[in-house]
Structure 1
Amino acid sequence: MWTSASYALSAGTSIEVIGTTKDAGTTAIDLTGNESAQTIQGNAGANVINGGGGADKLSGFGGNDIFVFNSALGNGNVDKVTDFNPSQNKIHLDDAIFADLELGTLASDSFFAGNAAHDSSDHIIYNSSTGALSYDSDGTGGASQTLFATLSPDLSLTAASFFVT
């Protein structure tokens, strides 16, 4: 489905691709998937892209995009963000899902680039070798980290790339 306006899929709707009519367009568009896996493609504008549930493929196509994660975490809900640019884009984490994070810009001690948390304050883990982005509710405690997205490897990702509401 191609659109030139913001669009959110209704639950149960079976559409595989949601995208803007013009990749080079600069109109800011919000695109939201549903519980199924979709490919969601923005444009060169400042888009808000939310895969919803399902294993989605998300692409911003330039601009200051925001990628939203507000669905329950699990094996069937790992999104691939194809073109995340830390100098332009942000990742929005919903505090209802990422409950151990403080509101606002992610605290620098809550982010760690590596294979796993290295202390109890590490909650968002970016594996720069693989691009895996995971959430660990208790850092180095007994809870396992949960993969919720994959980005490109070797990004200059920092806590400033994330915000929590």
Structure 2
Amino acid sequence: DKVVTSMSHALAAGSQVEVLATTNPSGTTAINLTGNEFAQTIKGNAGANVINGGRGADTLTGNGGNDAFVFKTALGAGNIDRITDFNKLQDKIHIDDAVFAGLKLGGLTSDAFFVGKAAHDSSDHIIYNSLTGALSFDSDGIGGAAQTQFATLSPGISITAASFFVT
């Protein structure tokens, strides 16, 4: 099933919808689109959208504009979203402090972000693997806890801590 909307829309729990999209991909009205526990493809428009996949392995597309991709559900192997068009100059990734425990509210500090396969010190909590595009959270940096992937971006983009906002 497919839901096409010209205004903000959140899928109800239990709604087995495969696609949630805007009626006009080139429109510039800011729209909030939120998925549910199932895997969806969610497509915004050219405006400043807020896109939240919810639970499930979702495919998220902002379609231009200053988009915010929201991550605020429990992390796990079945909840890894793919962001198809992340633009570090326009878009932000919003991460919830209740899920991403230990991060300070506001902009992600540069010492909490690392580009590589794994954390290289105890302050690294958000890790971007530029070879695979995997974006992971590590609650204790190089401690005993394993990192957990929560998203996939395009490989090789020059993402920095400035691309993240902790809510």
TM-score by length of 2: 0.98
Q: Distance in 2 between matches of 1:108 and 1:10?
A: 37
Equivalence for 1:149: 151
Number of aligned residue pairs:
165
Distance 1:139 1:106 in 2: 15
Q: Find 2:133's aligned residue among 131, 138, 150.
A: 131
After TM superposition, give the deviation of residue 102 of structure 1 in Å: 0.7
Residue 100 of structure 1: SS of its match in structure 2? coil
Deviations 1:42-93 (CA, angstroms, capped at 9, x unpaired): 0000000000000000000000000000000000000000000000000000
Equivalents in 2 of 1:138, 1:52: separation in Å? 25
CA distance in 2, matches of 1:79, 1:105: 21
- Give the aligned partner of residue 115 of structure 2: 113
Tell me what 2:161 maps to: 159
Tell me the equivalent position of 2:24: 22
How far apart, CA to CA, are the structure 2 residues paired with 1:63 and 1:156?
Answer: 19
CA RMSD of superposed structures (Å): 0.4
Match among 72, 77, 80 for residue 78 of structure 1: 80
Q: Deviations along 1:109-158, whole A, 9 cap, x unmatched?
A: 00000000000000000001110000000000000000000000111100
**Structure 1 unaligned blocks of 5 or more:** none
Give 1:7 shift: 0.1
Deviations 1:20-52 (A, max 9, x none): 001100000000000100000000000000000
Instruction: Give the alignment partner of residue 100 of structure 2, picking from 98, 102, 105.
Output: 98
For residues 129 and 100 of structure 1, the distance between their equivalents in structure 2, rounded to whole angstroms, comes to 27
Give 1:56's aligned amino acid: D
Alpha-carbon shift at residue 100 of structure 1 (Å): 1.3
Query: TM-score, normalised on structure 1?
Result: 0.99
Please list every run of at least 4 consecutive aligned residues from structure 1 whose deviation after the TM superposition is greater than 2 angstroms. none
Question: Which amino acid counterpart does residue 67 of structure 1 have in structure 2?
Answer: F
* AA aligned opposite 1:106: L
Aligned with residue 62 of structure 2, among 60, 63, 66: 60
